[in-house]
A and B are shown apart, each in its own frame.
Chain A
Amino acid sequence: MSAPSNPLLKVNNIEVIYDHVILVLKGVSLEVEKGSIVSILGANGAGKTTTLKAISNLLRSERGEVTKGSIEYNGADITAKSPADLVMDGVVQVMEGRHCFEHLTVEENLLTGAYTRKGGRSVVNAELEKVYHYFPRLKERRNSQAGYVSGGEQQMVAVGRALMAKPSLILLDEPSMGLAPQLVEEIFEIVRRLNVETGVSFLVAEQNATIALKYAHYGYILENGRVVMDGDATDLANNEDVKEFYLGLGGDGRKSFRDVKHYRRRKRWLA
């Protein structure tokens, strides 16, 4: 993928500070091309969630702030836009840990996702049918309280709820969290179908590099609040360093402790 000239989302060198003192992102830049799936990889605390929240501007309610750089969406600066305005523009975040409205039913959760939609009941119902088409399991459980459905179903509710806003970009945070491998695969399969069939773009933050690189077109690797590597998903998956540090695939079997220390050094150098 060569440098796209007119990306859907463009994050330019942003710096994020929490509580006026804690520097979390130290100059992150990334791009999402229209119709693509881009993943952000990295360990705990690397800044994946913060990056997504900076884009959706949910950051401010956690006392975080973008202090440098800018975020552009469809060519317009959205750094200071409110989350509600961003949803209306078509940028919706699916938060880590699913965050369903537990006391609402599955269907009510989905309907709440259409809060910003105009056009009355017929538009919303059509969208609801579309979500049920992609997540038939939710249709079966439409009247169950969301707090009592399984983790996988909650993740589907969260994604379905985001779809109800008719977004062009979904920021998907750690969809694999706490789910069985088979379910993770199922969720990513649906993400791919949505991407191909409806053209919605995804920016996915994921710890599980194997699955993220399998489904993404392009990937960024974040370490300590910086992008340390980026490239086509297939290139990244074949990169020796990525294999060692993120995919858990060493070149030749187990290593001695001395070698591990050596890798640590290399990793630090990489960062």
Chain B
Amino acid sequence: MEDFVIEFMFFLEVLFSGLLTGTLYSLVALGFVLIFKASGVFNFAQGAMMLFAALSLVGFQEMLGVHWTVAFLLTVVVMILLAWCVEKFVLGKLVNQEPIILFMATIGITFFLDGFGQTLWGSDIKPLDIGLPTGSLDFGGIFVDQLELVAGATAGGLVLGLAIFFNKTKIGRALRAVADDHQAAMSVGISLRNIWIIVWSVAGLVGLVAGIMWGSKLGVQFSLSLLALKALPVLMLGGFTSIPGAIIGGLIIGAGEKLAEIYLGPFVGGAIENWFAYMLAMVFLLFRPQGLFGEKIIERV
């Protein structure tokens, strides 16, 4: 009996840790969803944007010696500027091209941002410290990482804010309209350029928040850019067009890979945390290709 209780507590601890890591994946996935929803573009550069935002934040802090809130605001400006540049110099030139061409363009943006960010701010691993709490809290025997708790709360807040933005505001409605039908949106007087700038800015902001969380956890380094790959299975589970889907998908992936590592790992030699998420995503693709919450493709016959 005693054993069972300890075992169960351990299970809960692993589960919570996994769920909270999952919210960090969700934060990355959110950026993808935003841009995909509004422009039908799969933005491969989301990870690079996250890295670039985190680098800029740390850079501003170091260079100007200002409080992190000031650096945060400066970075927000930088991300909006970046969104404007992306529209002006890349996407604006590719209106009405095939999705695959737009996708290739975002790969280009990825390489540019990775290189440009490191040229500008240096390629050393830098600590990111904005005073987020570290260490664990003890909830009656279950230890929970404080940073992950903050990340979870932040992700929740972001989702709530975005849900209100998309469903209750005029701009949000216009964003959904553009996602459904570019041409029809233009025909009612919605300017695609402005919409794209807005949505890339919002995605940049989400990237910044994700970058702060991951940067606090791992330090700001090039590998942040690769986290985008971890967001892919999250998207396949949650659906590319659903904001709640990104969150739930992140939670499932996060908890799934931690639990699998602990309880299935020993049978197959361990280290399955790295590929479990992708396998789960593949299974999902077979049975529910639009993801858990993806928009149904409405087909009239």
Is B170 close to A, CB under 8 A? yes
Is B274 close to A, CB under 8 A? no
**Which residues on the B side are within 8 Å of A61 (C-beta)?**
95-96, 182-183, 186
A-B contact count (CB 8 A): 86
Which of A100-108, A190-198, A248-256 lies at the interface with chain B?
Answer: A100-108
Which of A1-9, A109-117, A209-217 lies at the interface with chain B?
Answer: A109-117
Please determine whether A116 and B181 come into contact, CB atoms closer than 8 angstroms.
no
Q: CB < 8 Å: which of A93, A102, A108, A151 contacts B187?
A: A93
Beyond A101-B180, A102-B298, whether A165 also contacts B189 by CB under 8 A is yes
Interface size class of B (residues with CB under 8 A): 20 to 34
Please determine whether B177 and A84 come into contact, CB atoms closer than 8 angstroms.
no
Query: Considering the chains assembled together, what is the distance between the CA atoms of A148 and B299 in angstroms?
Result: 9
Please determine whether B173 and A113 come into contact, CB atoms closer than 8 angstroms.
no
Query: Considering the chains assembled together, what is the distance between the CA atoms of A94 and B85 in angstroms?
Result: 32
Is A54 close to B, CB under 8 A? no
Is A56 close to B, CB under 8 A? yes
Nearest residue, chain A, Cβ from B298: A147
Beyond A61-B186, A88-B189, whether A99 also contacts B96 by CB under 8 A is no
**Which residues on the B side are within 8 Å of A111 (C-beta)?**
170, 173
Is B188 close to A, CB under 8 A? yes
Query: Considering the chains assembled together, what is the distance between the CA atoms of A101 and B172 in angstroms?
Result: 14
Query: Considering the chains assembled together, what is the distance between the CA atoms of A234 and B176 in angstroms?
Result: 44
Please determine whether A104 and B173 come into contact, CB atoms closer than 8 angstroms.
yes
Is A58 close to B, CB under 8 A? yes
What's the minimum C-beta distance from A101 to chain B, rounded to whole angstroms? 4
Is A226 close to B, CB under 8 A? no
Please determine whether B181 and A83 come into contact, CB atoms closer than 8 angstroms.
no
Please determine whether A99 and B190 come into contact, CB atoms closer than 8 angstroms.
no
Using a Cβ–Cβ cut-off of 8 Å, how many residues does chain A contribute to the interface with B? Answer: 36
Contact with B along A68-107 (1 / 0, CB 8 A): 0000000000000011101110001111000111111000
What's the minimum C-beta distance from B25 to chain A, rounded to whole angstroms? 26
Is A237 close to B, CB under 8 A? no
**Which residues on the A side are within 8 Å of B177 (C-beta)?**
101, 104, 109, 112
Query: Considering the chains assembled together, what is the distance between the CA atoms of A56 and B174 in angstroms?
Result: 19
Please determine whether A112 and B174 come into contact, CB atoms closer than 8 angstroms.
yes
Is B134 close to A, CB under 8 A? no
Beyond A63-B96, A112-B174, whether A87 also contacts B188 by CB under 8 A is yes
Q: CB < 8 Å: which of B95, B96, B188 contacts A115?
A: B188
Q: CB < 8 Å: which of B179, B186, B300 contacts A83?
A: B186
Nearest residue, chain A, Cβ from B194: A84
Q: Which of A147-167 contact B (CB under 8 A)?
A: 147-148, 151, 161-162, 164-165
Kindly list the 6 A-B residue pairs having the minimum CB-CB distance in the complex, ordered from nearest.
A87-B189, A147-B298, A99-B184, A116-B189, A101-B180, A84-B191
| Besides A100-B184, A102-B298, A108-B176, 15 new A-B residue pairs in contact (Cβ under 8 A), listed by A number | A58-B186, A61-B96, A61-B186, A63-B96, A95-B187, A99-B187, A101-B184, A102-B180, A102-B181, A108-B173, A111-B173, A112-B177, A112-B185, A113-B188, A164-B188
